[in-house]
A and B are shown apart, each in its own frame.
Chain A
């Protein structure tokens, strides 16, 4: 096993408990997951299974109640909020079900934003953003606002935003959940292509067909995770 096959995402015994009133809700129950560089992983589960919570924890947007999480060798649970923001900026790229583009910004302004938060010079950043958008076939749509784009196009803008900073891991939360079948195929194709180019992708979905396009599937049910062969 080469150096580049070390796990970039290494989460162990992750527990997440929500307190609602006097009741405790265990959303994640000792979940462990390793993702190696260049993996394309799907986490498949029905709604309410805890897959989104897992995604938020892997994305450093939320902290687990207990467990350990190393991202690219960094002990995430010991980091301060500003350091987490920096990790989200440099090591992670998010793709959401609802695209989550900023409505008042154009496509290229949306894509350039993570680079600006990184402190990269605006001219340089614009060049990179334009490159990524062109790569995703949106070279003609740079100055369109989200509401002027189709769902598939919006999701491709979101993907461009996720990859523009060359993250270690792309996290996609139901990326096809709001798309028609043609756009779904389209977006999955983009992910496969990105994976072929060496990007590491973790994709959450409830759609078996979509999950099958990944190289490896984890199943999640009632807060517990099972790998390929292990679904009861």
Chain B
């Protein structure tokens, strides 16, 4: 029998038992949808990671205290100066971060502020939208002026940021003059958002806002990607020299490259985990298909006898029942891919990045067909092996 006619026969049989075929393939639907989503989430995670890191210079290194909270032996501005003496390091900026009440007119919010040496702005793409940037003068004279991130300015003024330049705000009840607003920078891959923060000169932050609690992070830029490791070695050496109490051990040195690798690794782990779930679902659904196919073969034993009596060969019986299993599972695969597609917006709503792809559909359908072939084979083989007379006599 030719393939086209076999398929016709199979479709007649499968479609006569729609409800059963559907229930049989339910597992395949879920399994295929899972495979599809695994690929989508994997791709989404990949996209998210590369987006996060696209703005991050791979040569950047962060030095921070290893423990949160009170630090006995904090980093200092001096450490940053010492770092810049290394040939492998282009810049090193101490950065202070804090949280506090920020007030403008009668509006108050709890926000972040960042104290930076003015040069930090150039090397971190902080450009001015309005007003002026922080200047060396502000650092030297400890001027109580601030430049706001675009989002913060927007929030404080209720959508009318231009009015705030030249006005006063208070941070933790200390008065600052707003001298400028930065352009929006978006996600920088740094652990704090620039757009939501108020920036002040480093010396000002030290003096007025944090005082003795000043516990800076030092943001270092290696001269190039290839000098990152040498720069880390230099930093470690310097920290061991200058912080004799605890040495470099008490600090965490993070470079962008290893953070990127860690992020990719966790995205991959997530994908593998989901893929394992999908495989388990497909195996379980495959066992379901096998059961139903056994029942089908049993029910249609008489029919198999008739087919053998009119001249069907073993491989034709095998082909027919195998094709039935595959058609059922492939139909499940198609429905599963559709279900997966429908689930993508749901995942996005749950803030899980998912990017649907043709690759995901192909992989899902491949898995569904493999399930059908693998678990459909044994019942089909059993059907083919029936002796014609036993099959024909079966009641």
- Decide if B389 touches A117 in the complex (CB within 8 Å): no
CA distance A71 to B312 in the complex (A): 19
Q: Check if A117 sits within 8 Å of B12, measured CB to CB.
A: no
Q: Do B311 and A90 touch across chains, with their CB atoms under 8 A apart?
A: yes
Query: Would you call B309 and A116 a contact (CB within 8 A)?
Result: no
What's the nearest-Cβ distance from chain B to residue A160, in Å?
Answer: 12
Min distance, Cβ A126 to any Cβ of chain B, angstroms: 11
Task: Report yes or no: B311 in contact with A104, Cβ–Cβ below 8 A.
Answer: no
Near A by CB (< 8 A), chain B positions 1-32 give 1-2, 4-5, 9, 12-13, 16
Chain B 288-313 interface 0/1 with A at a Cβ cutoff of 8 Å (1 = within): 00000000000000110111111111
Known: A100-B306, A102-B303. A117 touches B314 (CB 8 A): no
Among A59, A61, A103, the one with the most B-chain Cβ atoms within 10 Å of its Cβ is: A61
Expressed in whole angstroms, the Cα–Cα distance for A56 and B391 within the complex equals: 12
Q: Are A117 and B311 in touch, CB under 8 angstroms?
A: yes
With a CB–CB cut-off of 8 A, which chain A residues contact B370? Answer: none
Known contacts A56-B389, A116-B2, A119-B2; is-contact A86 B302 (Cβ 8 Å): no
With A104-B16, A117-B1, A119-B1 as given contacts, are A62 and B310 in contact (CB-CB < 8 Å)? no
CB of B309 within 8 A of CB of A59, answer: yes
Does B12 lie within 8 Å of A105, measured CB to CB?
yes
Given the contacts A85-B312, A119-B1, A61 and B306 also touching, CB distance less than 8 Å: no
Which of B4, B12, B302, B307 interacts with A122 by CB under 8 Å? B4
Across the interface, do A61 and B392 meet the contact criterion of CB distance under 8 Å?
A: yes
User: Does A200 belong to the interface (CB within 8 Å)?
Assistant: no
Overall SS of chain A's interface: helix
Report whether A100 and B389 are in contact in the complex, using a CB–CB cutoff of 8 Å: no
Q: Are A61 and B311 in contact (CB under 8 A)?
A: no
Name the interface residues of A29-71: CB closer than 8 Å to any CB of B. 56, 59, 61-62
CB distance from B199 to the nearest CB of A (A): 77
Nearest-CB residue, chain A, relative to B5: A116
Interface of B is mostly: helix
Do B13 and A88 have beta carbons less than 8 Å apart? no
The reply on A144 being an interface residue by CB < 8 A is no
- Residue numbers in A under 8 Å from B353 (CB-CB): none
B351-395 near A? 1/0 per residue, CB < 8 Å: 000000000000000000000000000000000000111001000
Instruction: Tell me if B392 and A86 are in contact (CB < 8 A).
Output: no
Does residue B316 face the partner (Cβ distance < 8 Å to A)? yes
> Is A113 in the interface zone, CB < 8 Å from B?
yes
| CA of A103 to CA of B299, assembled, Å | 12
Residues of B close to A86: CB separation below 8 A: 311, 313
A56-B389, A122-B4 in contact; A104/B310 too (CB < 8 A)?
no
Q: Is the CB of A114 within 8 A of B392?
A: no
User: Chain A interface residue count: which class?
Assistant: 20 to 34
Contact A102 B312 (CB under 8 A): no
- Cα A81 to Cα B389 with chains together (Å): 13
The contact of A85 among B2, B16, B311, B392, by CB within 8 Å, is: B311
Hey, which chain B residues are within 8 Å of A116, CB to CB?
1-2, 5
What A residues does B4 contact at CB under 8 A? 122
A89 beta carbon closer than 8 Å to chain B: yes
CA distance A188 to B389 in the complex (A): 26
Asked if A114 contacts B311 (CB within 8 A), the reply is: yes
**Distance (Å) between the CB of B83 and the closest chain A CB?**
81
Please give, as numbers and ranges, the residues of chain B lying within 8 Å of A62 by CB-CB distance: 387-389
For A113, list chain B residues within 8 Å (CB): 307, 310
| Chain A positions within 8 Å of B306 at CB level | 100-102
Q: Which residues of B approach A to under 8 Å, CB–CB?
A: 1-2, 4-5, 9, 12-13, 16, 302-303, 305-314, 316, 387-389, 392
Q: Can you list 19 A-B contacts (CB < 8 A)?
A: A56-B389, A62-B387, A81-B313, A81-B314, A82-B314, A88-B308, A88-B310, A90-B311, A100-B305, A100-B306, A100-B392, A104-B12, A104-B16, A105-B12, A113-B307, A113-B310, A118-B311, A122-B2, A161-B310
Closest 4 CB pairs of A and B: A89-B311, A62-B389, A114-B310, A85-B313
